Amino acid sequence: MKKAIIIGGNELKGEIKIDGAKNSVLALLPAALMVNGKVTFENVPNISDIKSFLEIFDYLEIDYFYEKSAAKLTIHSREITNLEVVTPLVESFRASYYLMGVMLGRYKQLTISMPGGCKIGTRPVDYHLEGFKALGADVDFSGSTIILKAEKLIASEINFPRKSVGATMNLIYAACYAEGLSVIKNAALEPEIDDLIGFMNVLGFKVLRIQNDIHIEGMEKILNVDDISYSVVPDRIEAMSYVILGLLTGEIKVTNLNYSHIKKLIDLLKAHGADLEISDTEIIARKSTVKALDIVTEEYPGVPTDIAQILGVLLMKGDGDSVITETIFENRFESFIELNKLNCKNEIVDDSVKITGGRDFIGNTVIAKDLRGCASLVFAGLAAKFQTIVENIDYMERGYSNLYKKLSAVGANIQII
């Protein structure tokens, strides 16, 4: 793994344009495998998780053309003969598990390695598998592989015990080729789900959201498409991250965002002293000290779990002591303890982290263990006195498009070795 050497304290100023959403594109790419024909995605983020997915496409012998500089990816989708995806590639990132719903839907079978991803808790897949069973699939395990098989899939009503992004995506795919009308109840509400729904309809599937439910009319025959284009929704976590970086370090204009997707956190910060100039697609964030906050992470439209670690850095500089309570994943807060090496004072108590405000960050060597934790260490390093070394910077490359280019453009002193 690589490390970042950061000389902190620069006043960061300039513009950062938000790219397509990681959690959308990782669901859209496999969806293209459900049809035959040419599909082009636009606004594709330049992140390493895309590279991982394309390695799986190589493994499956799918033809694609990735024009990185134009943020465009064209997939020439056709029938796949290899229905065994047993490779460490699957274990290297979480979204590989979308192949379960896609392949079960289209081919009625798949053998796949256990999915991986950031180690932020146990991250089970029981809702996914129970959902597949409800559609008539058999689910078996052999060593560390999952075996899915069905004679045919029959529509069903699936009621998730709690909202799950991944399980909702997976059941949308599978139900698109199940006979009849399926209803997913208590479906996740994240904008990335609605991005997938939008894309599925462009492909010709019949998927409709009605509040917390998603209705899917299964198709009998494999769909053929003719040169379809689809633009990925802007990444709301990337947008919130760079707004927070502006509040920490100088004046950053964050463009190409969707304010309605990040309203909850942005409005909360503004009400607590953040200097923010807001429009529907752009936010100017100026260095400010925010008042202490008591935050509980929630499913959309609440404050997302994915921003908690980065928001925490702002609160460490805030006016008074704050608390963040995590409700989605266990083990998400290890990065807060790592931040104590930069002269912060955080304490984990059960699912919460107590954050002492008013800290001056002082550079040191820190080790990243997950994507958003890594971002929090980098941002703290940029706001710190002296030099900070962030080990395992590769984690941040998984989810922040053109990371070094964007940071350097606003004046960050960051070097990768």
Q: Which stretch binds ligand UD1 (CB under 6 A): 159-167, 171-179, 250-258, 262-270?
A: 159-167
* Rounded least distance, CB 107 to ligand UD1, Å: 22
The only residue of 58, 63, 126, 277 in contact with ligand UD1, by rule CB under 6 A: 126
- The verdict on 115 binding ligand UD1 (CB under 6 A) reads no
* 118 carries an active-site annotation: yes
Looking up tokens 């960061």 gives 12
The only residue of 164, 288, 309, 346 in contact with ligand UD1, by rule CB under 6 A: 164
Query: DSSP secondary-structure letter at 247?
Result: H
- The verdict on 124 binding ligand UD1 (CB under 6 A) reads yes
- The verdict on 358 binding ligand UD1 (CB under 6 A) reads no
* Rounded least distance, CB 285 to ligand UD1, Å: 23
Find the farthest-apart pair of alpha carbons in the chain and give their distance in angstroms, rounded: 63
Query: DSSP secondary-structure letter at 314?
Result: H
The only residue of 66, 132, 173, 329 in contact with ligand UD1, by rule CB under 6 A: 329
Q: Which stretch binds ligand UD1 (CB under 6 A): 55-63, 134-142, 163-171, 251-259?
A: 163-171
Measured CA to CA, the distance from residue 219 to residue 204 in angstroms comes to 9
Q: Under a CB-based contact definition with an 8 Å cutoff, are residues 400 and 375 in contact?
A: yes
Measured CA to CA, the distance from residue 371 to residue 397 in angstroms comes to 8
Q: Under a CB-based contact definition with an 8 Å cutoff, are residues 339 and 313 in contact?
A: yes
C-alpha distance from residue 43 to each of 91, 125, 234 (Å): 26, 29, 8
- The verdict on 395 binding ligand UD1 (CB under 6 A) reads no
Residues 6+ apart with CB under 8 A from 62: 33, 75, 76, 77, 78, 80
* Rounded least distance, CB 301 to ligand UD1, Å: 12
- The verdict on 95 binding ligand UD1 (CB under 6 A) reads yes
- The verdict on 309 binding ligand UD1 (CB under 6 A) reads no
Query: DSSP secondary-structure letter at 301?
Result: T
Measured CA to CA, the distance from residue 341 to residue 346 in angstroms comes to 10
Please give the size of the binding site for ligand UD1, defined by CB under 6 A: 22
Judged by beta carbon, residue 12 or residue 308, the one nearer ligand UD1 is 308
Interface positions, 165-204, toward ligand UD1 (CB under 6 A):
165-167, 188
How is 325-373 classified by DSSP, letter by letter?
A: E--S-SS--HHHHHHGGGT--EEEETTEEEE--SPPPB--EEE--SHHH
Residues 6+ apart with CB under 8 A from 124: none
Q: Computed over its alpha carbons, how large is the radius of gyration of the chain? A: 21
Compose the 18-57 pattern: x for residues touching ligand UD1 by CB under 6 A, - for all others. -----x--x-------------------------------
Which among 153, 109, 152, 160 has a CA at the least distance from the CA of 135? 153
Interface positions, 244-273, toward ligand UD1 (CB under 6 A):
none
Q: Which stretch binds ligand UD1 (CB under 6 A): 33-41, 160-168, 252-260, 314-322?
A: 160-168
* Rounded least distance, CB 127 to ligand UD1, Å: 3
Is 1 exposed, middle or buried (CB count within 10 Å of its CB: 0-12, 13-18, 19+)?
exposed
Q: Which stretch binds ligand UD1 (CB under 6 A): 50-58, 147-155, 301-309, 343-351?
A: 301-309
Which among 140, 199, 141, 137 has a CA at the least distance from the CA of 172? 199
- The verdict on 125 binding ligand UD1 (CB under 6 A) reads yes
Measured CA to CA, the distance from residue 197 to residue 210 in angstroms comes to 12
Ordered alpha helix ranges (H), 34-164? 48-59, 88-91, 98-107, 126-134
Q: Which stretch binds ligand UD1 (CB under 6 A): 244-252, 271-279, 298-306, 308-316?
A: 298-306
* Rounded least distance, CB 73 to ligand UD1, Å: 17
Measured CA to CA, the distance from residue 33 to residue 176 in angstroms comes to 13
Q: Which stretch binds ligand UD1 (CB under 6 A): 10-18, 33-41, 124-132, 242-250?
A: 124-132
Token pair belonging to 278 = 């807001």
- The verdict on 128 binding ligand UD1 (CB under 6 A) reads yes
* Rounded least distance, CB 160 to ligand UD1, Å: 8
Q: Which of 118, 176, 344, 374 is catalytic?
A: 118
Query: DSSP secondary-structure letter at 115?
Result: P
Judged by beta carbon, residue 16 or residue 125, the one nearer ligand UD1 is 125
Query: DSSP secondary-structure letter at 215?
Result: E
Judged by beta carbon, residue 166 or residue 250, the one nearer ligand UD1 is 166
- The verdict on 119 binding ligand UD1 (CB under 6 A) reads no
Residues that bind ligand UD1 (CB under 6 A): 23, 26, 94-95, 121, 123-128, 162, 164-167, 188, 304-306, 328-329
Q: Which residues are catalytic?
A: 118
